Each structure stands twice: as C-alpha cells, then as structure tokens.
C-alpha cells in the first residue's frame, strides 16, 4: 500500500494541470460492480471526478464480464466504437478490467487488434491501477497486469453507486467448476475475507445510513472454509444480524449442495435477514445436473425447498436456469418446466447456454439446433409468467415492508422499491421516500410487481 501511495502522488502530479474526468462502466454480476466501486475509489484518490458520458472522459475503464459470449461481444462492440473517441482525443486513456482480461486469448486479441486500449488490469490486480496509469502517462503504448494477487484491497476507499444499498463481498473466487461456467477460471479459487473486516465494513455502512447490505460471493455457503473454519456462513450471518440499526441483510449466491438446515434456521430466527432465498437450480433434470457437475439431485434440492417452506409455505424463492445445455433432450427440458411449476418461484433468471472456451462443457459436441433452444426459452418464460401471475396474488391484502429505490418509470406519481421478499412494489409516493423503508398494504398484483398503498 505504501508503494501505491508514492505512485498515486506521481500520477496526481502529472495530471495536476489537466481536467480529469473518469468514466467507469461495470458489466456482469454484483461482485464485478463492487470491484468497479473500488476502481472508482482509487481514481478518486488520484484526483479524478466522474462522468456518465464517455465523450467527456479523460479516462475510460471497462470492467468486463465473461460469463456468456453475448457479454463479451457487447464489450468488443463498445471497444470498437471507442476507436473514434481516441482519434478525436489522443490523450484519452482506455483501460480494460474485469473477467474478460483473465483469458489469455482475449488479452492477445486486444493487444494485437485493438490499439485504442492502453492497459489491461486483471481481476485481482485492481491495486495496480495507479502503476498502469503512470506507465500510460509516461508514454508506454500498452501495459498489462493480469497477475494473481492475494489482496482484498481491504483499505481501498470505494465510490459506491448507491447511498442506501451496499454490496459487501465476503469472498472471492469459486471452487465448484460447474462444467458450463468460466467463473472459476477467471476468478480463481475461493478466498474468504476475515470476519472482523466484513463486520466492521457492515457496521460502518449502517452507521452511514445504508439500509440494505448484500453479502456477496459465488457460493457464500462455503464462506470461511479456507480460513480454517473459524467462522461459517451461518455464524457470519448471525454476527451481522446482531449489528444495531434499521437495515436488511441479503446474500447471494448459494450453491444448493451447501444450503444447510443451519443456514435456513438462521434466516428464520434472525431479525434482519430477508425472507427470500436465491437458489440457482440450473436444470430440473438429474441427468443434466450430473453433466453440469452440480453435485445435487432434484430430490435433494426439493428437500431443501420443503424445509424452507415448512417454516413458511409462501416463502419467496428465485432461481437461475440454463436452457439448452449441450444435448439437453426435450424430455430433460420438460423436467425443468415441471419443477418450475412445482416450486413456484417468484422470479427466474434464465439464460441460453453459451459455450465458454476452456470449460469442460465446451468439449461436448452439441447437436441441439439454436432455434430449438430459443423455442425452449420462450416456453420457459411463458410458464414462469403464469406462475408469477398466480404467485403474486398471495400478497394482495397483506402488508409489506418496502425499501424505496426510485421513481416508477411506468406510472406517473408512483415510486418503486423492493419488498423484504424481493418483490417489486409500486405505490403513490414521492422522491423524499427514496432510500427509506415504507410499510404498504398490497392492493393489486401483476406478473412482475405488486401495487399498494402506504399504511
């Protein structure tokens, strides 16, 4: 860190007589958004202000995602369009960060074919940003740091996107190697932050008025295993729950194979943990789950769901589904539809399978045509629409606590927010409510939200 202070001073001195505006854009999951907030923190220390308009920027950082091909194509499209910006403003600095940078074939391609990119910064090399910038300012054509560092940037100031909702990563990396997934390759093995660092961060956020704390990890259930088991995830949750203040605790994601009864008991005996669980299913077919290396069966998954619903039959669940995993048969797909109807998720996040170089599944020769995959996707969404419409009716006439997060874009005079159950709620309100909890009574429901009135 000391060394970085010196470099930051050097960079600040070079920039001293210029205007400096930074444009940082994060793609992908909330962990990546959280990294983007750290990148912004470092830029702020150097002396940058921020802009939402890339045309105004003196430095642009694209914090990328590699989880599906479409995510990468989007970034390549944006990089392409930045060539013109660079021609108009040769002193503009453009850097690439995030998960795409961890793939050698991508960094090679960038170096060879995209001269508008000045530097590449790996997912665990955020603290190298000042050094990479210094290289650029001293005239280096291209610099890169994609090294793997065991550094959580514990003392890095963050420029957070929200004044009332905060993401708190509790661990980085993943050990699960689901056969379709690139994350373990681009984010490395599981590394947990120390419990005291996490608790202190949450206390600090709550004292600043944050109302929602989202604990993040690729599989939060294996939190602490690399720390010699001096604290498990349910224990960490109980410690977080003890912190004084008016706030809600959420967490993401949970691997179903590790969602223990202790964890579920912890939710229901807590004061502040949301009564909602995001439990990625991926497929409703045991044979597909096996090919995905998910290491649970549908029967085990249902047992977990039944246990949650033994506490509360209406307990709110959401999930992730992959459609069109290599050689998924019609019958296997039907099994997914059946499970979705049976579990009655409030919401599903569904994705068409995307082949990722380097993963096990990418070696399977796939015989399912693209149009079959698209048709399955449409069918899945149709089934879920019906389930959500029916499900959301259960809230009508009930009370809900909602954290208001903005003005409704759909209805004039309405505000929008998320209920404790992670349901979108809209009701008549005004800007002054943004960032606070409001109690409402639900008066009506749709397939994507409920409406209500303030009590």
The rounded distance, in Å, linking the Cα atoms of 327 and 365 is 8
* For ligand F3S, the closer CB: 217 or 256: 217
The rounded distance, in Å, linking the Cα atoms of 6 and 431 is 43
Q: Is there binding between residue 119 and ligand SAH (CB under 6 A)?
A: no
Helices (H) and strands (E) counted in the chain, each on its own, are: 13, 19
Strand, helix or coil at 148?
A: coil
Q: How many residues bind ligand SAH (CB under 6 A)?
A: 17
- Closest separation between CB of residue 23 and ligand SAH, Å? 26
Q: How many CB atoms lie within 10 A of CB 299?
A: 8
Residues 261-300 that bind ligand SAH (CB under 6 A): 280, 282
* For ligand SF4, the closer CB: 99 or 110: 99
* For ligand SF4, the closer CB: 178 or 415: 178
What residues contact 109, with CB distance under 8 A and at least 6 apart? none
Residues 194-253 that bind ligand SF4 (CB under 6 A): 218-219
- The position carrying tokens 């505000």 is 415
Q: How many residues bind ligand F3S (CB under 6 A)?
A: 13
Count Cα atoms within 13 angstroms, Cβ side, for 174: 20
From the list ligand F3S, ligand SF4, ligand SAH, none, partner contacted by residue 177 (C-beta under 5 to 8 A by kind): ligand SF4
Supply the DSSP symbol for 404: E
From the list ligand SAH, ligand F3S, ligand SF4, none, partner contacted by residue 322 (C-beta under 5 to 8 A by kind): ligand SAH
The rounded distance, in Å, linking the Cα atoms of 279 and 254 is 6
Residue among 23, 16, 44 nearest 89 (CA): 23
Residues 123-182 that bind ligand SAH (CB under 6 A): 180-181
The rounded distance, in Å, linking the Cα atoms of 398 and 378 is 32
From the list ligand SAH, ligand SF4, ligand F3S, none, partner contacted by residue 320 (C-beta under 5 to 8 A by kind): ligand SAH
Stretch that binds ligand F3S, among 37-45, 59-67, 323-331, 374-382 (CB under 6 A): 59-67
- Closest separation between CB of residue 173 and ligand F3S, Å? 9
* For ligand F3S, the closer CB: 82 or 182: 182
Q: Is there binding between residue 181 and ligand SF4 (CB under 6 A)?
A: yes
Q: Is there binding between residue 185 and ligand SF4 (CB under 6 A)?
A: no
Question: Which of 322, 339, 343, 449 touches ligand SAH by CB under 6 A?
Answer: 322
**Contact track, ligand F3S, 66-95, x by CB under 6 A:** xx----------------------------
Question: Which of 126, 178, 308, 323 touches ligand SF4 by CB under 6 A?
Answer: 178
Q: What is the DSSP string of 262-321?
A: HHHHHHHH-SSB-SEEE---B-S-HHHHHHTT----HHHHHHHHHHHHHH-TT-EEEEEE
Question: Which of 28, 98, 130, 184 touches ligand SF4 by CB under 6 A?
Answer: 184
Phi, psi (rounded to 5 degrees) for 348:
-125, 145
**Contact track, ligand F3S, 167-196, x by CB under 6 A:** ---------------xx--xx---------
* Pair of tokens at residue 271: 């004061």
The rounded distance, in Å, linking the Cα atoms of 378 and 61 is 35
Letter string b/e over residues 125-162, b meaning 16 or more CB atoms within 10 A of that residue's CB: bbbbbbbbbbbbbeeeeebbbbeeeeebbeebebbbee
Strand, helix or coil at 65?
A: coil
The rounded distance, in Å, linking the Cα atoms of 97 and 145 is 10
Q: Is there binding between residue 259 and ligand F3S (CB under 6 A)?
A: no
Cα 83 from chain centroid (whole Å): 29
Q: Is there binding between residue 361 and ligand F3S (CB under 6 A)?
A: no
Q: By CB under 6 A, name the binding residues for ligand SF4.
A: 174, 176-178, 181, 183-184, 218-219, 255
In the complex, the residues that contact ligand F3S under the rule CB under 6 A are 28-29, 31-32, 65-67, 98-99, 182-183, 186-187
Q: Which residues bind ligand SAH (CB under 6 A)?
A: 67-68, 180-181, 183, 218-219, 253, 255, 280, 282, 320, 322, 351, 353-354, 356
């Amino acid at each position: 860190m000391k060394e970085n202070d010196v470099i930051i001073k050097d960079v600040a001195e070079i920039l001293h007589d210029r205007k400096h505006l930074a444009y940082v854009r994060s793609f992908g999951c909330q962990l990546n958004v959280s990294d983007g907030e750290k990148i912004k923190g470092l830029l702020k220390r150097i002396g940058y202000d921020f802009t939402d308009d890339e045309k105004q920027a003196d430095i642009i950082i694209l914090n990328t995602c590699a989880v599906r091909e479409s995510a990468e194509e989007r970034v390549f499209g944006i990089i392409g369009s930045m060539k013109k910006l660079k021609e108009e403003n040769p002193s503009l600095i453009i850097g690439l960060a995030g998960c795409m940078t961890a793939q050698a074939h991508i960094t090679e391609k960038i170096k060879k074919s995209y001269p508008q990119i000045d530097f590449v910064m790996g997912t665990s090399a955020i603290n190298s940003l000042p050094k990479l910038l210094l290289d650029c300012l001293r005239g280096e054509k291209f610099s890169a740091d994609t090294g793997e560092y065991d550094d959580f940037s514990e003392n890095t100031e963050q420029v957070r996107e929200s004044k009332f909702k905060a993401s708190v990563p509790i661990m980085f990396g993943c050990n699960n190697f689901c056969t379709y997934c690139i994350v373990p390759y681009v984010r490395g093995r599981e590394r947990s932050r120390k419990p005291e660092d996490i608790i202190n961060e949450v206390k600090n956020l709550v004292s600043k008025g944050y109302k929602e704390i989202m604990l993040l990890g690729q599989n939060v259930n294996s939190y602490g295993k690399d720390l010699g088991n001096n604290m498990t995830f349910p224990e960490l949750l109980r410690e977080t729950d003890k912190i004084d203040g008016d706030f809600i605790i959420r967490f993401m994601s949970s691997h179903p194979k590790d969602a223990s009864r202790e964890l579920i008991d912890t939710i229901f005996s807590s004061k502040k943990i949301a009564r909602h669980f995001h439990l990625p299913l991926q497929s409703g077919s045991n044979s597909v789950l096996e090919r995905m290396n998910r290491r649970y069966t549908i029967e085990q998954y249902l047992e977990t769901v039944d246990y949650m619903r033994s506490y509360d039959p209406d307990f709110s669940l959401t999930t992730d589904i992959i459609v069109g995993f290599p050689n998924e048969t019609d019958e296997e797909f039907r099994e997914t539809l059946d499970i979705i109807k049976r579990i009655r998720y409030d919401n599903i996040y569904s994705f068409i399978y995307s082949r990722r170089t380097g993963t096990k599944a990418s070696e399977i020769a796939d015989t399912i045509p693209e149009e079959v995959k698209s048709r399955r996707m449409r069918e899945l969404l149709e089934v879920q629409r019906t389930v959500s419409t029916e499900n959301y009716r259960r809230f009508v006439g009930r009370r809900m606590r909602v954290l208001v997060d903005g003005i409704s874009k759909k209805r004039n005079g309405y505000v929008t927010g998320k209920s404790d159950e992670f349901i979108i709620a809209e009701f008549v309100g005004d800007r002054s409510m943004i960032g606070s909890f409001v109690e409402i009574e639900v008066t009506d429901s749709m397939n994507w939200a409920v409406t209500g009135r303030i009590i």
